[in-house]
Each structure stands twice: as structure tokens, then as C-alpha cells.
Structure 1
Amino acid sequence: ITPFTLRYTLNEEGGKFDACSADEEETARQIMRAASAIGYSGPQDCDIGLGMPSPNWGTAVEIALKGIKEIGGGSLTFSNADITLIALDETPQAVFDRVVGDLDATLPDVFSLHAVLPEKIVVDGTGEDDTVIEFVATRSPEGLVQLRGRLPDDEIKEIVLSYAHAQFGTDNVYMATRDDEDLPGDWAIRVLAALEGLSQVQSGSAIVQAHYVQLRGVSGSRDTSGEISRLLADKLGAAENFEISIRYDELLDPLLNIPTPEECVDRVNAVLAASKIVFEPSSAALTDDANETVDKIAEILRECSRTQIEIGGHTDSQGREIMNLNLSQERADAVLAGLMERRILTRNITAKGYGETVPIADNGTEEGREINRRIEFRLLTDVQVSENPEAAEALPTPTEETEAPSEQN
């Protein structure tokens, strides 16, 4: 593991490891025990590998973790034998001095501590505020990258643009930066390191300031946070103040091969195209063949628990409109109940009856009416879900109709 890195951050929301390295399982357990002792309750994972700079690595980490707790929070970064402690900007100077002094006195030989009590950091995040000097890069889920904020001159601008083209693709990069000749000398290095980190997430943002770098994003790998921590510690130096917030999303994990929401619905509708869900005449009772189809759909939906789906029930136009509407709702509910019986998580699935209002064929022919009597699965957008959280609420109140629906329905 190069550099041999550990990074722990602690704030009002709690503690988390951005990276953890150990030479063996016992050292990893020592680190996790020390973290638990200061309130850590997250994943108990450390990368195991070669390259540990001292046999006292676990002891040094244990001492430093106690220190970050005592100082009130901040970030703790080990990069080989170099340790950087960045306190929170509201830390009292006396507390900072006392804790840093104790750490210097108790850390094992070989390890070198660099501690910083930073000035208050103000992040604008647009790159357009004249009072906040920063470079900002954003990457959308579609892969489009925007570069804004400040760069030293046209030569550096060309270097940054070429690098971004290489990382993200020529057609995916939009640059709208401005020149600022008063930027620090290492500005280009910081920008390129931030862009390299941004290239490792599916979507996110990178903000570069003179004494601070922030990288946030979403990734399909649990290792991304640790990899970016090592990258920034190596490129910027362990003494630099940087913040990392990477959220793991299993839907983006290529190893799990979880289908996208669109793929989920397409697979279900492919099953329906081959074998319709049919019901007993004038009822919501599933036939034996329909139950076999629901079995196939259930197998698909086991991997789609986070997909917002609507089960739509439809009838032909024969019979009273309100009775057809009620029947279509009952049939959609029956399919939803069938999925629940098969232990499918249905918190993101709604059932809605449309009656005869959405024909896809001519109701004037028997063939057309047969096509219109159907169950459809539809992908819901976040907007549709927020506008209609419960499909049943959209239904009109049933009247006191007593006429039975058509046998054909």
C-alpha cells in the first residue's frame, strides 16, 4: 500500500474512516478498538497490505485517535510515518496546544506530527464569488464536467483543459474559468490532483482553495474513499487540509451487476409481452398461468428493490366506466399482493387502476379489447412519486353502482 495511509475525520455528525491500512488483522482490530473507544460505530474494515512504516503503526494510530477526540474533532491523516492533525476551526488555542504537546510527547519514534489550527474556511462552491478564491469542478451523473473559478494564466488553463479532456472525454468538458495571476504557486498541482480525484467518482464536485481541498461524490466502489485519500495525501502532501465525502451506491457497483431502473421495468415488460397476466372473467382472481407469470416477475424484482414502479391495471370499454375503473384497481392490487406473497419488497411499488381510459387498441373489435385488458409495469420518476405517493388516493370515490362489469373485462 503506497503511501501507507489512514485517514479519520470527526465532527458533530460523528467519526468516519476515509482510509484505513494495516499490516495484519490484529493491527486492524487494534485500530478499530481504539476508534470504537472514541465513539466510532461504522464499518470495521481496514485494507491489509505491505508497506507499514513502523511496527508501532497500530499504537501510533491509537494514540492519535485519542488526541483527535480530546481536541474536539477535525481530521487525522497518516501518510507513511507523517501524521497531520487538522483541528476544527473553532478549537480553542489552549486546547489545541495542550493536545498537540501531549501527542508529540507520546507518539512512537519515527512518526512526525504536523498539527494545524486553521482559520475559518468559507466555501462558495460556484467559483464566481469575488471574495472566495477557488476553483470548482462538477461532474454530473451523465458524465458532463464543468470547470469554473480561477486559474493562473492561459498556459495553465490549457494544461488543465487537456488533462480534463484526457480524464473525462473531449466532448464532456465545459470550461468557464478566469485568470488570476495572484494565485499560489502550487495552484495547478492542487487543481490537477482534485480533477484526478473527481475522475474516480460517478458524479460529484471538487473545490480547490489556497489551503483547502474538498471532494464529494458518489461511487460504485467501496474503495474509492481510501484511494482518493491516498491520492490527495500523495499529491498535495499529508500536511494539507482536505475533506473527502464519498457515498457508496451499490447500483453503480459493476461487481454486483444490479440492473438499472430502466432495465428492471424493461425485463418485467418483456415477460409480460411473452405471457400476459390474465384474470378470471369479471374478477381480480389470478389464473394459474398468471401466477406463473408473477413468479417470473418476482424473480426480476428481487434485484430492483430501489426502483420506483407503478403496476397499472387496464380494461376494455365494455360495461360501466366506474365499474371498469374499480375492477382495474382490484387487479393491479392483486398483482401487488401476489408480489408481497412472494416476499418482494414493495415499499417502492404502487398499484393504480386506469379502467378503460388508456386504450392501446380498438375497443370495437374483440382482438382490440383483448389487447386493452392488460397489466403494465411503468417506471415512475421522482417527480411523479412526490406528486402521487399513493396511487390509490388518485382514484375517484366509488359510487353506489350495483351493476356488474362486463364478462369480457
Structure 2
Amino acid sequence: MRLSTLVFSFAFLLVGAGLSVFAAILAVNLIEETTETDVRRALSEAGYHWADVETEGLQVFVIGNAPSEAMRFKAKSAAGTVVDAARVIDQMNVIDSVEITPPEFKLEILRTGKSVSLMGMLPTRYGVDSLIASINGAVGDEAQVSQLLQTADFPVAESWPMAVRASVELLSLADTAKLTVKTGEIRGNLVANDYEQGQAFERQIGMMASDDLTTDITINAPRRVIAPFVFSVSKAATTKEISVCTFQEEAALDEFQSTAANLNFEIKRDCQMGLGRPTAAWKETVFATLGAVDQFQEAAATVLGTEVKLLVSKDTDAELFSRVKSELGRDLPTEYMLQAERPEPDKEVNFAPDFLITLSPERNVQLRGVLPTEVAKDMVQSMAEARFGKDNVHLSVRLDDAYDDDRTIHALTAIEAMANLRQGSATLSSGGAEISGQTYDDTLNAQITGLFQDKLSQYQALSLSIDTLEEPHHEEPVGPSADECIADIGALTSARKINFEPSSDRVDLTAHQVLDDIADVLRECGEIPLEIAGYTDSQGRAEMNLGLSQSRATSILNELQRRRVLTSSYVANGYGEADPIADNETEEGREKNRRIEFRLLDTHQHDHPEGTDHE
């Protein structure tokens, strides 16, 4: 009896001990779970989503990768607000934040004929395909484009696409080019076929330059051939002027400019540079002529080809004239011929009344003065009408054969000379010819000097005062605005929808005519920031719809490229079944939701740019 009592007592004791241990374990687990939940909630509310919590008994372990030491301390403090800070065990790591440096976007372009090579790093947003399509449009269908291009998905300034578009435009001008394009910058070389094309390149590059685009482009062009080479200098009581000068080498020009400055001669027009000097001794001839003129009080000289003409005033000392003439003749190379004249002091000159020719900016010509005969009058009138038009010539001429001093020849020559002036006047007298005006041709001074070289006598002088103007830039007609382009495309796609073959990104036959018309509109619009957005209905899996919409948008972009539309500023995005415009529960609604939209690209928010929607 006693034995069974002991057994039962011991058994109850064991059961009680087991229940106590079990209750203790449950209490510990409850405390751990409650503590872990409360601390995790506190960290989440504080925004420390990178931190996690584990508990073991009364200890609370805070783990995770903290962005910084400060964030690590704050997370530990947040846990300490829930439990005793002494129970918080810090097991967090601090991750060194390394800012990824964006790559330098750069495009190297080399064109040789129809062959174009591309190298460099491009922003993913603008893509390789659109660049190649733009180059094909600029160079032509036979372009052979090879590329070693990489892309990086980083933001880029708006001056990047501006620089790329400008480089493609330059590529369309020159058959040989090497360009380096960076954000807001183009550098490199263009090769022109001739001097005139080189000048056209310079004007085009000048029009491109802006605050957002820097251009540093060297133009290599064959030097123009100038015939004949001309040098003209005059000295009077108060003036010392060089009206025309021509050189073949830069070194010779620099030396000449220095010498002229030392002698106080003013160079009225920039000297011409080109090929075609008559002999290798041209520079020495010019310097000798300049030095000879400077020895007189009043004199003028012209070197035209291999002919040197020196004219001094009648008041010049005869001995001085003879000495300088002899020295100049000795200094000139043997292939140059000198004609030096000094009028006799007692020579009587019959000065005829002036003959005046006036040319207005509207190309109206007035001729007034005295001519010797009716035949001379008819010749002058016919020449003027041939150069300026019959309705633009107004003649007021008196006939007097007493003044036959080669006036007819001088008048015809002056009309020929003034044909290239924008506006101006000519005064002809027995003392020579004076021509003034404005022109866009920087070689006109030399041309007029050449025209009169053999027409004036030894007692007559030619005076030129012609200003060279910068040729005006003719702006291309401005096309429709970007908003007008979107509206025009919207009108087309509202009337005729772009459809695709079922579950395919291939446009059906009826859509090709619509795309032809859209391409016509876009070619007039230029390179506007355009997004081509693709959408589907809600049937099928969302992932498949997203991929299909992207393929269809890209397909439209490719179709436009095939139609010679420059698409470097276009992007194609697919949005799947997002943003429905009709009810997907009906067939009519699903048909409307399967659409392509053309809209202006918001360069700041790429995902959903604002613009005009089109079905």
C-alpha cells in the first residue's frame, strides 16, 4: 500500500515538472515572437526596410546591410525603443555606397564615299538602330554602315541628340568626313571637293553653332586658282592705301602685311589667297613696287600678271621719277615688264564732263552724261540691258563727238564691272574711273582692276571703294510645328487604323498606305521628339501582351525607317494592356484597345509622355 502511494506521488511530481517546463517554453516562445514582431514593426515604420530581426530568449539581434553608419545607429536606437537597449545585439553591416559614374557618351564617325564606320558609346534611350537609319537616310540607299557601338542606360543631356543630328546633317554634305560627337560638341574634319564647296561647308557649320552646340571642324579643300594675280597700291598727300593684293603662301602674306604696316600703308581689303601666281618672283615684284610708290608724294601702281604699271603725278620731280623708275626696272625679275609714266607739266588735258552710272539694290541702273555718238549710246544701252534687264535701265545721255576720249570703252567696262555689285556707282572722267559699292564677292576688286588694266591711258587712274558684305544665310522654310504634326497624324489614324496580323507584329496590307501617308507627314516635320506607343487588349497573359505591344511599336518604327524617315529622335515603347480606352469585355472595346499611338515624347518623364492619342 505504501509502495503504490510513493509511486503515484512520484508520477504526479514528474507530470507537474513536465507541465512546468512546457509552460515555460511556451512563455519564452511567446515572448520571443512578440518581441520580434514589435521590433520588426518599429523598424518598418521608421523606414528601415533593409533591417531584419531575430530573437533568442531575451536577446534581440538586429541584422541587415545598413546604407551608412548613421542609418545603422538609427536602426539600433529604433529597436531600443521597444525593448531594453541592453537586450539589442547589433549584427548589422555597413555597405560602402559607391556611386556609379555614368560613361562618357561619344560617337566616332568616319565616312569615305558610301562607306560609313561608327564606333563609341551611345545612350540606350536613343539606340543604335535609329542612328543607322538616320545615316542611311543622309548618305543614301547604297550606304554601307559598319558599327562597333555599345549602349549604356544612363540619362543624357538634351544637347546629345542635338549634336548627333547635326553630325548626320554634316555627313550628308561631305563624301569624306571624320567626326567625333560628344554631348553638345562636334569636332573633326570635312573634305570639300573644291573651294566653293568648302565655303558652303563653313556657312552651314556657322549656322549650326549655338549656346548648346560647339563645333570645331576643320575643312580641307583644294585652294582656289586665281587668275590673274593682282596688286594695286596708291599714295596721295594724306592717304596710303593698298586696294588689292594677292598671294599664294601664308608666309609671304604675313611678311607683306608686316612691311605694309611699317610703311604706314592701309590694306583696304583682305588679301586673296590662292594658287596661280604668274612666277615664283611674284612676292619680290610686289615688294619692289610697294617700295617704289612709297618714294613719291603722289603715285599709283598696279601689278597685273607680269605687267607692272606705275603712274606718278605731273608735279613729281623729273630726276626723282627717272631714278626710281630705273631702280624699279633693275629690281624687277626679267619676266616682268614695267610701264612707268609721268605726265608732262605743260600738257593740256581736255576734261570731258563726268559720265555717271548708278546701280540700286533693286538692280535699277541709271546712266547719265555725255557720249560721242549715237552708235556709242546704242552700245552702252545694249550692254546695260543685257546685264541688268531692259526694264531696269534708264538712260539720260547727251551726244557730243568733241569728247571722244575712249569714253565708250570706259562706259562698257564699267557696266561689266558693276554687274557683280549689289549696289554702287561709277564715275568716269578724263582723269580715270572711280567705282564704289557693295558686293558679296571678295575677288571683285581684283577683277575690276584687271578689266581696266588695258583700258586706261598712262594719264588715267582707277580708284576703287568696294565693301565686301557677308553673304546672307537663307533660312530653310519652317515646317509644321510638332503639335501640328501630331494632329495631322491623328487625323490619318482616326480615319484609317493601323492593324496587324493576328498575334503578330507584322502590319497587314491595309496599314501600308496609312504608314506611307504618316511618313509623308513626318518627313515635313523634321526630327521631333516622338514616341510610338503600342497597346493590346487584356486577353492572354500580361507578360505576353507587353512583349507583343513592344514588338508592334518597334515594327512601326522600322516601317518608318524603310520609308526614309529620320527617326533618331523617335522611341518605340510597348505598354501591353495598360491604359485601356474602351471596355475589354466586348469585342468592339478590345478592338479599340489594340492600337498604336503617336505622341510627343516628354523628355523628363519617359514612361508616359503626354501627347495626342490615336487609335
TM-score tier by shorter-chain length is: 0.5 to 0.7
Among 471, 476, 480, the alignment partner of 1:254 is 471
Counterparts of 1:32-47 in structure 2 under 5 Å? 32-42=257-267, 45-47=270-272
> Where does residue 112 of structure 1 map in the other structure?
337
Among 275, 280, 291, the alignment partner of 1:55 is 280
1:229 equivalent in alignment to 2:229: no
CA distance in 2, matches of 1:150, 1:208: 10
How far does residue 71 in structure 1 lie from its aligned partner after superposition? 1.2
> Where does residue 13 of structure 2 map in the other structure?
none
Work out which structure has the larger RCO, using CA pairs closer than 8 Å and 6 or more positions apart in sequence: 1
1:24 equivalent in alignment to 2:249: yes
Counterparts of 1:139-158 in structure 2 under 5 Å? 139-158=359-378
> Where does residue 213 of structure 2 map in the other structure?
none
Give the partner amino acid of 1:248: D
Say which SS state the counterpart of residue 330 (structure 2) adopts. helix
> Where does residue 543 of structure 2 map in the other structure?
none
**Over the residues paired in the alignment, what is the CA RMSD in angstroms?**
2.9
CA deviation map 1:15-68 (0-9, x unaligned) = 333221222222323332332231124468432333322211111111111110
Among 186, 199, 208, the alignment partner of 2:419 is 199
Assess if the C-alpha contact under 8 Å between 1:34 and 1:65 holds in 2: no
Assess if the C-alpha contact under 8 Å between 1:217 and 1:246 holds in 2: yes
* CA spacing shift, 1:88–1:203, aligned 2, 3 Å: farther
Assess if the C-alpha contact under 8 Å between 1:38 and 1:65 holds in 2: no
CA distance in 2, matches of 1:257, 1:12: 44
CA deviation map 1:340-375 (0-9, x unaligned) = xxxxxxxxxxxxxxxxxxxxxxxxxxxxxxxxxxxx
Among 233, 237, 241, the alignment partner of 1:8 is 233
CA distance in 2, matches of 1:223, 1:182: 37
Assess if the C-alpha contact under 8 Å between 2:233 and 2:243 holds in 1: yes
> Where does residue 462 of structure 2 map in the other structure?
243
CA deviation map 1:134-156 (0-9, x unaligned) = 42212234433221222221122
> Where does residue 337 of structure 1 map in the other structure?
none
> Where does residue 323 of structure 2 map in the other structure?
98
* CA spacing shift, 1:131–1:19, aligned 2, 3 Å: closer
Among 51, 74, 88, the alignment partner of 2:313 is 88
Assess if the C-alpha contact under 8 Å between 1:211 and 1:241 holds in 2: yes
* CA spacing shift, 1:108–1:239, aligned 2, 3 Å: farther
Give the partner amino acid of 2:462: E
Assess if the C-alpha contact under 8 Å between 1:30 and 1:62 holds in 2: no
* CA spacing shift, 1:256–1:32, aligned 2, 3 Å: farther
Give the partner amino acid of 1:150: V
Counterparts of 1:330-409 in structure 2 under 5 Å? none
* CA spacing shift, 1:182–1:111, aligned 2, 3 Å: same
1:67 equivalent in alignment to 2:292: yes
* CA spacing shift, 1:256–1:31, aligned 2, 3 Å: farther
**Ranges in structure 2 where 5+ consecutive residues have no aligned partner:** 1-225, 476-615
* CA spacing shift, 1:43–1:134, aligned 2, 3 Å: closer
CA distance in 1, matches of 2:427, 2:314: 18
How far does residue 108 in structure 1 lie from its aligned partner after superposition? 2.0
TM-score normalised by the chain length of structure 2: 0.37
Say which SS state the counterpart of residue 3 (structure 1) adopts. coil
CA distance in 1, matches of 2:344, 2:419: 29
CA deviation map 1:267-291 (0-9, x unaligned) = xxxxxxxxxxxxxxxxxxxxxxxxx
Assess if the C-alpha contact under 8 Å between 2:432 and 2:456 holds in 1: no
How far does residue 114 in structure 1 lie from its aligned partner after superposition? 1.1
**Ranges in structure 1 where 5+ consecutive residues have no aligned partner:** 121-129, 259-409
> Where does residue 178 of structure 1 map in the other structure?
398
CA distance in 2, matches of 1:67, 1:102: 8
CA distance in 2, matches of 1:79, 1:240: 18
* CA spacing shift, 1:232–1:44, aligned 2, 3 Å: closer
How far does residue 192 in structure 1 lie from its aligned partner after superposition? 0.7
Give the partner amino acid of 1:246: S
Assess if the C-alpha contact under 8 Å between 1:83 and 1:238 holds in 2: no
How far does residue 184 in structure 1 lie from its aligned partner after superposition? 3.9
How far does residue 3 in structure 1 lie from its aligned partner after superposition? 2.1
Give the partner amino acid of 1:236: K
Assess if the C-alpha contact under 8 Å between 1:137 and 1:147 holds in 2: yes
CA deviation map 1:281-312 (0-9, x unaligned) = xxxxxxxxxxxxxxxxxxxxxxxxxxxxxxxx
Say which SS state the counterpart of residue 85 (structure 1) adopts. strand
CA distance in 2, matches of 1:119, 1:137: 31
TM-score normalised by the chain length of structure 1: 0.54
